[in-house]
Amino acid sequence: MKEYWQLRDFIFAGIAGALIFAIVFLLGSGIILATGIPATGGIVNIFAAVLLMSIAVRIVPKYGFATLTMAITFSIAIPTIIGGPPGAYKPIIGILLGLTFDSIVLIMKRTTTSHIIGGALASAMSLTVIFFTMQILGLPGVDKLQPLLKFLIPFQALNGALGAWAGNTIFKKRLQNLPAVKRLMNT
């Protein structure tokens, strides 16, 4: 069955992308302010971003939706430290993460398990891509990050898997029967 995109799908991708950015920016900044430790906000950011993305992809179950949404999120994040050091390269990271999520979900036929695996792989990949970007750009701290990757990448994957599981659980138990969500899902 062919999936046709409608204007509301593009609008919802923009809204979802902006909402994901706003929430992870506030969460990440709040945690960094509370702890005083840079990069600690990323722990919660991955969970929240994947949770919200899983819900959004359930509402608009079309291939490319996660890719567009993450490209928007990372475009908004260009001047911030969300998703890595500030820079114009960020939309490329968003596209790679979204394509990973979209592809896994499509290949595994849009099951909850597909969201969990897609969330885990995209989350692990995000840290890997950010590391290589920092390395290519010659940014300070990359040498301190490298030995931690063997611990952080599996942790990111677990965090992404938990975010996807939570997003799917919230969608199925609370959101899918709401009239507003049904209207958005109605094609």
pLDDT confidence bin for 116, thresholds 50/70/90: very high
Residue 36 and residue 40: Cα distance in Å, rounded? Answer: 9
Kindly give the interhelix angle for 149-170 and 112-137, rounded to the nearest 10 degrees. 140
What count of Cα atoms within 13 Å lies in the side-chain half-sphere of residue 171?
Answer: 24
According to the model, what pLDDT value does residue 144 have? 83
pLDDT above 90 covers what percent of the chain? 68
Would the pTM of this model clear 0.85, i.e. be above it? yes
Q: What is the pLDDT of residues 11-56, one digit of tens each?
A: 999 999 999 999 999 998 888 788 766 566 777 899 999 999 999 9
Q: What is the mean pLDDT of residues 127-146?
A: 86
From residue 79, how far is each of 6, 75, 90, 122, 156 by CA, in Å? 30, 9, 9, 22, 23
Residue 165 and residue 55: Cα distance in Å, rounded? Answer: 10
CB-CB contact of 106 with 61 (8 Å): no
According to the model, what pLDDT value does residue 104 have? 98
